[in-house]
Amino acid sequence: MKVAVIGAGAWGSTLADLARDNGHQVGVWSRRSGNFHATIENADVVLSAISMKGVRDVIEVLRSSLSPQTLLVTATKGLDSNSGTAIDLPLLPSQLWQAAFPTHAVAILSGPNLSKEIQQGLPAASVVASVDSQAAERVQTALSSSRFRVYTNPDPLGVELGGALKNVIAIAVGACDGLNLGTNAKAALVTRGLAEMIRIGAYWGAKAETFYGLSGLGDLLATCNSALSRNYQVGYGLAQGKNLSDVLTQLEGTAEGVNTTQVLIRLADQQKISVPISSQVHQLLQGEVTPHAAVSALMLRDSKPEV
């Protein structure tokens, strides 16, 4: 197949290598490099690996350039900050793509995929989801190899939400590690963070069981246990006394959890969804609480049943 990868960052470059290693004709395009028309023309698959803030702009660039049969794959993990009202949910990347290209099949790729490890040849697994099962299987075939195992999933909403929401929890866990609070605290934070993700997903209409898979628990574990995670680095840096702007400047790429937190809290406030961890992350990012105060607020909440 001809595969066009949009975004030449670490993840886009990694996905391009995976497709190229499987014998596909691969082109990579970004705003800084590459021939747009040569990359996109007659592509069987367009794989978007750009940050959330760039999705709308790239969609406009592509709007009149895609072949009718082109399969769209989004690997972006975030929530659209320009959507969502008191009655409408924020849009996910795949929903932006589907609205712009209603006749095209759209699939989501997500999972515990730290690009630097995959670039080193270390084994990894991911999941591709779509309402079109044949589209998901095409992506599975295109990217699967002995070092990158791809599963399919029929719940695109849950898969996409898992990838977005775990970034918020990763910021909290990074702060936990930055404060040297220990393994017990970290385990509790990850576990209750997963419960929070499932609660949000249930409100959205996703399947709870999806969050126990690769795009939920799997991605959460990877992101919360590696200094390679940009969102983890944000929380860790804040716990070390750095200000947010300095932390973000030093990152190699975008920490999607910062924007996702803002959009999520707006939704939770509107719909009265309980998200105590995300709320403390939001206040931490806004400079309204210290990392120690955020931990204290979580530990001193009213006692309640676990389930």
61 lies in the same domain as 92: yes
On whether both 167 and 149 belong to a single domain, the answer is: no
Judge whether 304 lies within some domain: no
Segment 17-63, tens digit of pLDDT = 999 999 999 999 987 776 788 888 899 999 999 999 999 999 998 88
* CATH number for 270: 1.10.1040.10
Mean pLDDT of 6-25: 95
Q: Is residue 115 part of a domain?
A: yes
φ and ψ at residue 110, rounded to 5 degrees: -155, 160
**145 shares its domain with 170:** no
Q: Among 154, 185, 208, which residue terminates a domain?
A: 154
Using the predicted structure, report yes or no on whether residue 134 has a pLDDT greater than 90. yes
Full residue range of the structural domain in which residue 242 is found: 157-299
Within a domain: residue 306?
no
Are residues 139 and 170 located together in one domain of the fold? no
Q: Is residue 190 included in any domain, yes or no?
A: yes
Average pLDDT over residues 3-9: 94
At which residue do the structure tokens 């589907």 appear? 98
Number of separate helices (H) and strands (E) present in the chain: 14, 7
29 and 75 both lie in a single domain: yes
Shared domain check, 141 and 9:
yes
Pick the closest to residue 57 from 13, 84, 93 (CA basis). Answer: 93
Strand-by-strand arrangement of the 71-74 sheet? 25-29, 2-6, 45-48, 71-74, 106-110, 124-129, 148-153
Residues belonging to the chain: 307
Do 168 and 219 contact (CB within 8 A), yes or no? no
Answer whether residue 249 is part of any domain: yes
Out of 2, 53, 116, 166, which one is annotated catalytic? Answer: 166
Domain count, the chain: 2
Task: Give the CATH number for residue 124.
Answer: 3.40.50.720
Give the range among 79-88, 114-123, 140-149, 288-297 with minimum mean pLDDT.
79-88
Percent of the chain past pLDDT 70, that is, above it, reads 99
179: helix, coil or strand?
coil
Indicate if 116 belongs to the active site: no
> Within this chain, do residues 124 and 54 fall inside the same structural domain, yes or no?
yes
Mean pLDDT estimate for the chain: 94
Please tell me the distance from the alpha carbon of residue 69 to that of residue 22, in angstroms, as a whole number. 21
- End-of-domain residue from the set 131, 154, 177: 154
The predicted structure's pLDDT at residue 34:
66
- Please say which residue of 154, 175, 210 terminates a domain: 154
* 235-254 pLDDT, tens digit each: 999 999 999 999 999 998 89
Asked whether residue 307 is assigned to any structural domain, the reply reads no
Give the pLDDT confidence score for residue 303 in this predicted structure.
Answer: 77
Six token digits for residue 194: 């997963």
Is the pLDDT confidence value at 86 over 80?
no
